[in-house]
Structure 1
Amino acid sequence: MSDYDSGIDLIEADLDGFVLTIRLNRPDKLNAVTQEMSAALVDLITRANDDPAVRAIVYTGSGRAFSAGSDIRTLDQYATPWEFRNRRDYCDALRAARKPIVAAINGYALGGGLETALTCDIRIAATTATFAAPEIKLGWIGGGGMSALLTASIGAGNAALMLMTGDPIDAQRALRWGLVSEVVEPDALLGRAHEIAAVIAARPPIAAETAKANLRAAQNLPQDQAIAYERELQGITFATEDAAEGRAAFAEKRVPVFRGR
């Protein structure tokens, strides 16, 4: 395992094979994100985007929380609402990631922590996970994509229930609603997330990143445009060296070796 230093103690980052694990490490504060942590995450994702050694990311938290979102006690440090609006936000950082991200949701995913999970591509939850959008209880709403991403994940009615009450749901309800793909025991969570990430990392990296871009297009474009966009992306990936290697390996009945070219 090689080090992938985040620059601060509150975020652990390690590269193992082609999988980068990012772990929030502020368990005494339920991994609430400070401005310093947010800036570090922006830098980490920027670095990972440009690093061919990173093909997939696992994102998780330490202790009993995935993340409780922004540290509320630090929000008054912004001089004006405009400065708050233009902050370097951790959800924006994750949304800018080109590499596929698997969220290993170990506990509380609250507010911005839920937005963080929703921003990830695949979500695996421990049986101990809890999900909530509690901002309404404090007088505001989420601003990191909460309404759009939650509605896309669980439907408008279920999203309304969470957004308008602020009340939590447990892992099993999250599974029934489609918020997460799997629920596993806590001691199996990180292993399962790494297993999924390792499978993705073994795929051609250009195709994996293109699949992520294509999924986002499918969620945001009218169907005819999304299909046309998919066809263009297919043409791009088909022309790569990895695609040629995949076809050759299939014909020769051997395991392909993908190089990201």
Structure 2
Amino acid sequence: MAGHTDGAITVEHHGHIAHVVLDRPKKLNAMTVAMDHQMNDLVHALNNDANVRVILLSGAGDRAFSAGSDITDLDEYGDNWSYRNRFDARTDYARAMWLNRKPVVAAIHGYCIGGGLEMACASDIRIATPEASFGAGEIKWGWHGGSGQTQLLTHLIGPGYASRLLLTGDRIDGAEALRIGLVQQIVPFSDLIDTAMAVALTIAGMSPIAVEKTKSMVRLAQNAPLDVALLAENDSFAYLMMTEDAAEGRAAFAEKRPPVFKGR
């Protein structure tokens, strides 16, 4: 990694993968308002970069994925009406993560709490270490998370497990997160980035059109009635079958060779 710039977000490009690093290790990668703006600008840029097909998200250092928002920086958001409108003001990092069109693979070690948990929930695939610590502790201070914490977490693990975390503020480790379906794989810290990168590389080798459409179909399954979603899936499938990538996939299958997808 290029040198740390403690208090920023750094990006490394590996072929079609953008490795986004929450780079504030001395503060457990807690997010500031300045980092909010940077994340929103970054997501906009990545969504419109045809060379980027997958995003790998991780935290710098060996103590945290992210401890969420830096509470000492919250006054920078302005009054309560401004804070309520932070989505439109592009000052919400977890919302920005949710707006990624490209798949996001989160590599999680150490603290993943508050807004860090929201970023993890907004990701598509979560790989963690046994030492990962997941928590929604806002209830202890008189509020709940406001950038998807109550909603995305409930969609991911169901109302019972979500309520247990949201209403008690208790933390769970990587093994428990795997058991309840919050994460998809547990690996040692030494293997975390390599494992997440391998998943990202697999996805990056697929047709980028098919990947983005598949992500949108999974999102639709979380939000639409089944009959409506099935119709939308069929329309999406019909569209994909007419792409150049689909033709390349059929040719590669017939010729017994790996396909070379171009995103057309």
After TM superposition, is the score higher than 0.5? Answer: yes
Tell me which residue corresponds to 1:29.
Answer: 27
The residue number in structure 2 matching 1:235 is: 238
Q: Aligned equivalents of 2:183 and 2:71: distance in 1?
A: 26
1:9-158 equivalences under 5 Å are: 10-63=8-61, 64-87=63-86, 88-158=91-161
How far has the Cα of 1:70 moved from its partner? Answer: 0.8
Instruction: Point out the more displaced range, 86-95 or 213-222.
Output: 86-95
- Displacement after TM superposition at 1:215 (Å): 0.3
Q: Supply the AA of the counterpart residue of 2:84.
A: R
What SS does the corresponding residue of 1:155 show, helix, strand or coil?
helix
Structure 2: state its 5+ residue gaps: none
Report if aligned partners of 2:9, 2:22 keep a CA contact under 8 Å in 1: yes
Partners of 1:81 and 1:230 in 2: CA distance:
40
Alignment correspondent of 2:257:
254
Q: Map 1:163-242; keep pairs closer than 5 Å.
A: 163-242=166-245
Change over 3 Å in CA distance of 1:9–1:139 after alignment to 2: closer
Aligned AA (1:75): L
- Aligned equivalents of 1:26, 1:255: Cα separation in 2: 40
Is the contact made by 2:7 and 2:35 (CA closer than 8 Å) also made in structure 1? no
The one-character-per-residue Cα deviations of 1:101-153 (angstroms, maximum 9, x if unpaired) are 00000111001100100000000001110000000111111001111111111
Match of 2:24, as an amino acid?
R
**Match for 1:86: what amino acid?**
N
Q: Which amino acid aligns with 1:210?
A: K
Following TM superposition, by how much is the alpha carbon of 1:79 offset from its aligned partner in structure 2, in angstroms?
2.6
Runs of 4+ in 1 over 2 A off after TM superposition: none
Matching residue's letter, 1:18: H
Q: What is the identity, as a one-letter code, of the residue corresponding to 1:204?
A: S
Residue 52 of structure 1: SS of its match in structure 2? Answer: coil
CA deviation map 1:219-259 (0-9, x unaligned): 10011011111001101111110000000111111111100
Compute the displacement of 1:85 (Å): 1.3
**Contact 2:130/2:186 (8 A) holds in 1:** yes
Moved more, 72-81 or 24-33: 72-81
Does the aligned pair in 2 maintain the 1:8–1:40 contact within 8 Å? no
User: Aligned partners of 2:71, 2:43: CA distance in 1, in Å?
Assistant: 23
How many Å apart are 1:9 and its aligned residue?
A: 5.7
Which deviates more, 73-82 or 108-117? 73-82
CA contact (8 A) 2:140 2:169 kept: yes
Partner Cα separation in structure 2 for residue 91 and residue 98 of structure 1: 14
State which drifts further: 246-255 or 200-209: 246-255
Shift of 1:8: 8.6
Question: Does the CA-based 8 Å contact 1:45-1:94 persist in structure 2?
Answer: yes
Q: TM-score, normalised by structure 2?
A: 0.95
Q: What is the aligned-residue identity percentage?
A: 50
Q: How far apart are the structure 2 equivalents of 1:8 and 1:130?
A: 22
Shift in Å, 1:10: 1.6
Residues 190-214 of structure 1 show CA distances to partners (whole Å, capped at 9, x for unaligned) of: 0000000000000000000000000
